[in-house]
A and B are shown apart, each in its own frame.
Chain A
Amino acid sequence: DTEVTQTPKHLVMGMTNKKSLKCEQHMGHRAMYWYKQKAKKPPELMFVYSYEKLSINESVPSRFSPECPNSSLLNLHLHALQPEDSALYLCASSQEGQLLNQPQHFGDGTRLSIL
């Protein structure tokens, strides 16, 4: 079991659907991250939130829309996705939003399939 909880664990959606991925942590961490991981590939950074503000957006298409309602929650809103967006989406958190060198704690991920 991990301390970062992601829901749902699996999601199948059509290209016209709108869905959201959720991530929650109760470790008091102030930085939260979204990564995308394709099969047999490393995680790729998508977004970084520091103190609930978006600090890094790695040129992710607008069909992915992140949201950080509070310091414990991170959402990823999905709309009009493409089949190539099928992947494992990992959420992570780290302790201090203003410092580097903090270990990142990963959730188990949401496995997303686009039909």
Chain B
Amino acid sequence: QQPVQSPQAVILREGEDAVINCSSSKALYSVHWYRQKHGEAPVFLMILLKGGEQKGHDKISASFNEKKQQSSLYLTASQLSYSGTYFCGTEWSSGGGADGLTFGKGTHLIIQP
């Protein structure tokens, strides 16, 4: 079951903030966030576990609301290098080991100078 990402696209000026949401109708075990630039591999940003934790990395942070089955990615004071497509990937406990990820459709982020 594919998670739902919103918005589909965002255009920002450098220095502005953005929020990207990822929600699921199915109970989540964890949410992974990746950024992919055109023609490149997806790059890991962070993992959020069920339990409502919040993580941060430089000016990018994320939260996981277990009650809502939703994760949000926060981009603060955006930089040109933040441009790309952001994917959330979800995994459900298979009870047996390594799971692949089911990715949302992605949010295309454009940062303008």
Contact = CB atoms under 8 A, between A and B. Distances in A.
Interface of A: 2, 4, 30-31, 33, 35, 41-45, 48, 50, 55-56, 58, 90, 94, 96-109
Contacts of A94: 98
Nearest to A94: B98
A73 B100 CA distance: 18
Contact of B101 (A45, A50, A107, A108): A45
Contact of A100 (B93, B102, B106): B93
Interface string B73-111: 000000000000001010101101111111111100000
B32 A103 contact: yes
A48 B30 contact: no
Contacts of A90: 41-42
The 6 nearest A-B residue pairs measured at CB: A45-B100, A42-B103, A31-B98, A106-B41, A103-B44, A50-B98
Given A42-B106, A45-B101, A101 B30 contact: yes
A100 B100 contact: no
B47 interface: yes
B12 interface: no
Contact of B49 (A33, A55, A56, A101): A101
Given A42-B105, A100-B30, A108-B41, 14 more contacts: A2-B41, A31-B97, A43-B103, A90-B41, A100-B91, A100-B93, A100-B97, A100-B98, A100-B99, A101-B30, A101-B47, A103-B32, A106-B41, A106-B43
A44 B47 CA distance: 19
B87 to A, nearest CB: 5
